[in-house]
Structure 1
Amino acid sequence: MLPKLPKGLTRHWPIYLPLMLLGALLTPLALRSYVETTTYSRRYTNINQVPVKPVAIVFGAGVWEDGTPMPMLADRIQGAIDLYHLGRVQKILMTGDNATPEYNEVIAMQNYAEQQGVPLKDIRLDYAGFSTYESCYRAKEIFGVQQAILITQEYHLPRAVYTCSQLGINAVGYGRPDWGKYQDESMRFYTQREMLAIIKALLEVHILRPKPTFLGPFEGMGNG
């Protein structure tokens, strides 16, 4: 038999329930605000203000069936290409999903950058970047990245900068456009999902610290 609730709690339940619901709604907003505030000074949208770093990290974001990058991913890669040609980075780490032979984000990213003049010697591939956390973890532990410019859409950038920073990378972010460039319906979905992803990220970096799906031997980037 389940224990009975105290009479006082039962009597005031109509008051407690709305407060609990309000707390459940406000907590994700508060955590998102915390991550955005603590990374604000390290996020840029103007390429001319992005500080020089040895490495750019580009996060995967989906490829079409023909193996070419989807628009968001193409935009991220273009940001890295522009930084490279401006001399603000010397190398680019492409990190993404290659969980099956048929799906390979990082080769698509490499091909896109190579076609626009980035030599293969300055591109490194992380085939096991299955999440932002795993990409940041592997960037530090496998590729030895100590300083980096992270490139992704603005809605995702606070979490990326926060995660990599907490995992030991001196990271800044270059945010690519999202709202106003992509459909509002899509952006509402990504933005709402991001609030849950921030809660997961805070648990990962502050409490759980899980190992990535794959680690492997140290590869290094050559610099940075």
Structure 2
Amino acid sequence: MRSVIKRVILLTAILVVIVPLLARGFTMAFARSRIYTAPEATPHHRVAIVFGAGVRGNQPSAVLYDRVVSAVALYRAGVVDKLLMSGDKRFANYNEPAVMRQTALRLGVLDDDIALDYAGHSTYDTCFRARTIFGLRDAVLVTQAYHLDRAIFTCSALGVAAVGYPADRRPYAAMSWFQLREFGATLKAFWDLFISRPLPALGEPLPNRLSRGGLLHFPLS
């Protein structure tokens, strides 16, 4: 009986501790050589994908604001030509992409150089839709470092060759929680990519929306 209990405890420890550590370590190793910490060192790509985060009304959270500011830094440096703002718009009074767009406009980005994806409900959804809806084959991903490894791995696994630019511009009050949560989020990423393969909200493919000649804004759901 005791040996059975020990085996159960050992198996539980493996599942709860070791597997998440291995998954997180794998994504970190995968992304390490693909992360650039200065705009001038980042290789040119046509599009930067900016991942959504929390908003209050029409104001971005500190995390989201820094993501937009970092993407604008790449845009100003000529590293990217277009910004794809992907986030959540599940409710009438909650619209991450719209807030991201307004923030980017205030920072001097041309409206023609911004595209909005309103169905970026998760990292998986954003990367999936970037490939299937917007026709992207490569991109610079902009998000905080704690999330960047998983984002690069997810987009790459879904057919978008990705490099990353970290958006950390200040200390964040909930950073310890973000980092802890990332272990579970990384496990879910592996599950989604290789086992469940969920189908996000889709629509008509629109690869020309991110063409060099300009792009139009459109609501996606």
TM-score of the superposed pair, with normalisation by structure 2: 0.90
* Residue identity opposite 1:222 in structure 2: S
* Residue identity opposite 2:56 in structure 1: W
Structure 1 Cα separation of the partners of residues 38 and 146 of structure 2: 16
Aligned twin of 1:199: 187
Q: CA deviation at 1:14?
A: 4.6
Q: CA deviation at 1:19?
A: 1.9
Give the secondary-structure state (helix, strand or coil) at the position aligned to 2:162: strand
Aligned twin of 1:219: 206
Please tell me whether residue 114 in structure 1 is matched to residue 101 in structure 2. Answer: no
Deviates more, 1:45-54 or 1:71-80: 45-54
Aligned twin of 1:6: none
Aligned twin of 1:7: none
Count of aligned residue pairs for this structure pair: 209
Structure 1 Cα separation of the partners of residues 149 and 72 of structure 2: 21
Aligned twin of 1:58: 50
Q: 4+ runs of 1 displaced by more than 6 Å?
A: none
Q: CA deviation at 1:79?
A: 0.8
Percent identical: 42
* Residue identity opposite 2:172 in structure 1: Y
- Check whether the contact 2:141–2:163 (CA below 8 A) recurs between aligned residues: yes
* Residue identity opposite 2:211 in structure 1: G
Please tell me whether residue 177 in structure 1 is matched to residue 168 in structure 2. Answer: yes
Q: Which of 128, 137, 144 is residue 146 of structure 1 equivalent to?
A: 137
Structure 1 Cα separation of the partners of residues 90 and 116 of structure 2: 14
Structure 2 Cα separation of the partners of residues 130 and 197 of structure 1: 14
Aligned twin of 2:78: 87
Structure 1 Cα separation of the partners of residues 33 and 129 of structure 2: 24
Q: CA RMSD in A?
A: 1.4
TM-score of the superposed pair, with normalisation by structure 1: 0.89
List runs of 5+ in structure 2 lacking aligned partners: 213-221
Q: Which of 31, 38, 42 is residue 34 of structure 2 equivalent to?
A: 42
Q: CA deviation at 1:73?
A: 0.3
Q: CA deviation at 1:56?
A: 0.3
Structure 2 Cα separation of the partners of residues 21 and 147 of structure 1: 39
Computing the radius of gyration over CA atoms, which structure comes out larger, 1 or 2?
1
